[in-house]
Amino acid sequence: MPCPPITREESMPDPKLSSKSFTLTNNETGQSWELPLLEGSVGPSVIDIRKLYADTGCFTYDPGYTSTGSCQSEITYIDGEKGELLYRGYPIEQLAEDSTFMEVCYLLIYGELPTQDEKDKFLDRITYHTMLHEQINYFFRGFRRDSHPMAIMVGVVGALSAFYHDSTDITDPKHRFIASTRMIAKMPSIAANAYRYSRGLPFSYPRNDLKFSENFLYMMFSNPCEEYVINPILAKAMDRILILHADHEQNASTSTVRIAGSSGANPFACIASGIASLWGPAHGGANEAVLSMLEEIGSADRVDEFVKRAKDKNDPFRLMGFGHRVYKNYDPRAKVMRQTCHEVLNDLGIKDDPLLDLAMKLEKIALEDEYFIEKKLYPNVDFYSGIIFKAMGIPTSMFTVLFAVARVVGWVAQWNEMIEDPSQKIGRPRQLYTGAKHRDFVPIDKR
């Protein structure tokens, strides 16, 4: 008996209207408008401006959406001041310690932790969708051998819509469920293929007797000529990393997936757009950028020089792995990642890793520096994940790919939530136009 399709019995309730409201006044005309205030279950209230343009003739201006809520969601909650992250109400620290990535996937998608029976069915579903259509393996061969694996991911995931036509009707909950299952299940296979292709290794097929993270390590690192022995510490660390990266509210890539999906685009195309957005160094590409930065710094005695550069307004250099749009306190994921980082390095017997020593020195100096304290710039999750991946033998160019393997579950959960939310419209922001006013065309001989 398969898992039920991802669909809600009742649609998401309308947000609660607060007894308080905001009044907006036009100072010139004296005209006032009352703006309703909506309350979430926890966190700041939001001013409902949906009728603002119709009522006032004005738009709002908020580049980077620093004060804008784009949707109502029940999936993930972040309190950036406290440094708190909850998936469906459960603290990330507890999930990282006691749960598994598969259980977290179920939680994010269905809203509740599974019973044993539900978990077994879900695992079965995912396991039997891990294999790629054989023609997808041929598709990889069209890429240059030295292609960046994120470029391959964007291409191959977008191309899934050409292979799985039977799950692209977004109005059908069964189609959405199959497409979502396929994406979560096949991302590790695509990621492993991207890696193996760049190394000239034969593609590996999934093994159904292994757990999700074990299977991922097996597909990445196994050699057809030898038996592959799973290291349980590395498998546990990988599972934890996947949990920590699984969702993060309305971040750039998730908002990209939602905006792409708001036009009715098929789920594979939407996830490919999320992967493209994740690739940037200010977002998921930061874990790769951290390693490049540590390599560029080179030795602990140059840390001060780079910290100075990061503080210089005229220098574009930033300390990668520091700062976050939402967290103005220690990133809770970074705390867990820091501990996992030490566990992995101990298990692998890496005692004196110069890059890690350098990272620790950088972390200490930045945390004590007035500039970083004042701007509340703490190490984020990417600061440590890159070091763990390096210790595991994963090449730098694969770091963001691993982030995508985890985040796909968040994208899928948020995309499904959006499709089922009757209040969602096509994402279409407006602008403050500052270009030329109306003018007449000038023929080329008169310019």
Can you give the binding site for ligand CMC, defined by CB under 6 A? 64, 248, 251, 282-284, 286, 310, 318-325, 375, 377, 380-382
Long-range contacts of residues 182-186, Cβ cutoff 8 Å, at least 24 apart: 182/129, 183/157, 183/267, 183/268, 183/271, 183/408, 183/411, 183/412, 184/105, 184/126, 184/408, 184/409, 184/412, 185/125, 185/126, 185/127, 185/128, 185/129, 185/130, 186/129, 186/130, 186/132, 186/160
Q: In the complex, what is the shortest distance from the CB of residue 371 to ligand CMC, in angstroms, rounded to a whole number?
A: 7
Given 382, 421, 440, 445, the catalytic residue: 382
Nearer to ligand CMC, 83 or 206 (CB): 83
Nearer to ligand CMC, 119 or 318 (CB): 318
Nearer to ligand CMC, 176 or 248 (CB): 248
Q: In the complex, what is the shortest distance from the CB of residue 241 to ligand CMC, in angstroms, rounded to a whole number?
A: 13
Q: In the complex, what is the shortest distance from the CB of residue 3 to ligand CMC, in angstroms, rounded to a whole number?
A: 29
HEC string for the chain:
CCCCCCCCCCCCCCCEEEEEEEEEECCCCCCEEEEEEEECCCCCCEECCCCHHHHHCCCCCCHHHCCCCCCCCCCEEEECCCCEEEECCEEHHHHHHHCCHHHHHHHHHHCCCCCHHHHHHHHHHHHCCCCCCHHHHHHHCCCCCCCCHHHHHHHHHHHHHHHCHHHCCCCCHHHHHHHHHHHHHHHHHHHHHHHHHHHCCCCCCCCCCCCHHHHHHHHHHCCCCCCCCCCHHHHHHHHHHHHHHCCCCCCHHHHHHHHHHHCCCCHHHHHHHHHHHHCCCCCCCHHHHHHHHHHHHCCHHHHHHHHHHHHCCCCCCCCCCECCCCCCCCCHHHHHHHHHHHHHHHHCCCCCCHHHHHHHHHHHHHHHCHHHHHCCCCECHHHHHHHHHHHCCCCHHHHHHHHHHHHHHHHHHHHHHHHHCCCCCCCCCCCCCCCCCCCCCCCHHHC
Q: In the complex, what is the shortest distance from the CB of residue 282 to ligand CMC, in angstroms, rounded to a whole number?
A: 4
Reply yes or no on whether 324 is catalytic.
yes
Given 247, 324, 331, 369, the catalytic residue: 324
Nearer to ligand CMC, 322 or 399 (CB): 322
Q: In the complex, what is the shortest distance from the CB of residue 253 to ligand CMC, in angstroms, rounded to a whole number?
A: 8
Nearer to ligand CMC, 186 or 283 (CB): 283
Q: In the complex, what is the shortest distance from the CB of residue 379 to ligand CMC, in angstroms, rounded to a whole number?
A: 9
Q: In the complex, what is the shortest distance from the CB of residue 180 to ligand CMC, in angstroms, rounded to a whole number?
A: 22
Q: In the complex, what is the shortest distance from the CB of residue 304 to ligand CMC, in angstroms, rounded to a whole number?
A: 14
Nearer to ligand CMC, 51 or 82 (CB): 82
Q: Which position's Cβ is nearest ligand CMC?
A: 323
Nearer to ligand CMC, 167 or 250 (CB): 250
Reply yes or no on whether 55 is catalytic.
no
Nearer to ligand CMC, 206 or 321 (CB): 321
- The catalytic site residues sit at 324, 382
